[in-house]
């Protein structure tokens, strides 16, 4: 079953002369086990689209289906679906620098339903950290880690609830070339566990390793391609 399907999705801010169309009638889908890249310059609507698909922003118009069902309108149901279905990876890592690594990764589990006890939360967070090669860092403070290691913590946190779809917003923008390559390889390897990835990026080294590329411009999918196969043909290649 298609994980997310957007039809004519739009987002408008403000009114009258202050009205800004951030996203205009975007239609797309993400299938199980694939990696899709949203490409385009800053301000073209990539981040807004991720926010709408991930239910952190309400759409102004259009239809969004999540796992075949209309996206809920009530915030409580949206919050529950966000936590169960999606993992989120941000450019700025969005981790609590003063907290220990293990505590950062357990944050999504605080909202899991049915609720997990403390031991279950710690065990699951530990497994997620092991999966990204940071099992040794559980008691370190996030501020003690390098940029690449902090992004690995963010990936572990995105995976800890075993999401169906990870939404990644410019996940390599703050990293050097070598570290970015490692992070992309790790991020895209999620497909082996059945997790799909939708990544917003302006870096062709990232988009070129995905299964599909959806170019964007001015709040729309670009008319000249809408959907373009990635040049490498192998999302997991190194």
Banded model confidence at residue 233, pLDDT cuts 50, 70, 90: very low
Residue 238: predicted pLDDT: 36
Proportion of the chain above pLDDT 90, given as a percent: 68
Residue 230: predicted pLDDT: 54
Residue 124 main-chain phi, psi, to 5 deg: -70, -40
Query: What DSSP element (H or E) covers 197?
Result: strand 196-201
**pTM (global) more than 0.85:** yes
> What is the C-alpha separation between 78 and 41, in angstroms, rounded?
29
Count other C-beta atoms under 10 Å from residue 17's C-beta. Answer: 5
Res 229 pLDDT > 90: no
Mean pLDDT for all residues in the chain: 89
Return the SS3 of 166: strand
Across the range 31-35, mean pLDDT stands at 95
Beta-carbon contacts of residue 41 (< 8 Å; ≥ 6 apart): 202, 217
Proportion of the chain above pLDDT 70, given as a percent: 93
User: Beta 35-39 vs 20-30: how paired, if at all?
Assistant: unpaired
Beta bridge pairs of residue 5? 29, 65
Across the range 119-126, mean pLDDT stands at 93
Residue 160: predicted pLDDT: 92
Residue 220 main-chain phi, psi, to 5 deg: -130, 160
Dump pLDDT digits (tens) for 70-117: 999 999 999 999 999 999 998 777 889 999 999 999 999 988 888 889
Residue 48: predicted pLDDT: 95
Domain ranges of the chain: 4-229
Domain with residues 4-229, CATH architecture: 3-Layer(aba) Sandwich (3.40)
Across the range 162-169, mean pLDDT stands at 95
């Amino acid at each position: 079953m298609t994980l997310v399907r957007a039809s004519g999705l739009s987002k408008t801010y403000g009114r009258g002369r202050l009205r800004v169309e951030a996203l205009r009638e975007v239609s797309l889908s993400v299938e199980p086990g694939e990696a899709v890249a949203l490409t385009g310059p800053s301000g073209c609507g990539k981040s807004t689209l991720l926010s709408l698909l991930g239910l952190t922003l309400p759409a102004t118009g259009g239809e969004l289906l999540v796992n075949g069902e209309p996206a809920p309108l009530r915030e409580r149901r949206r919050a529950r679906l966000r936590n169960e279905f999606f993992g989120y990876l941000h450019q700025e890592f969005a981790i609590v620098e003063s907290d220990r690594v293990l505590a950062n990764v357990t944050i999504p589990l605080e909202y899991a339903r049915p609720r997990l006890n403390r031991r279950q939360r710690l065990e699951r967070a530990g497994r997620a950290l092991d999966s990204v090669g940071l099992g040794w860092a559980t008691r370190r403070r996030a501020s003690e880690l390098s940029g690449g290691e902090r992004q690995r913590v963010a990936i572990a946190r995105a995976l800890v609830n075993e999401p169906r779809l990870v939404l990644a917003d410019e996940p390599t923008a703050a990293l050097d070339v070598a570290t970015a390559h490692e992070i992309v390889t790790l991020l895209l390897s999620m497909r082996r566990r059945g997790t799909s990835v939708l990544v917003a990026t302006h870096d062709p080294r990232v988009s070129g390793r995905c299964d599909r590329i959806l170019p964007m411009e001015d709040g729309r999918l670009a008319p000249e391609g809408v959907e373009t196969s990635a040049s490498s043909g192998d999302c997991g290649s190194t």
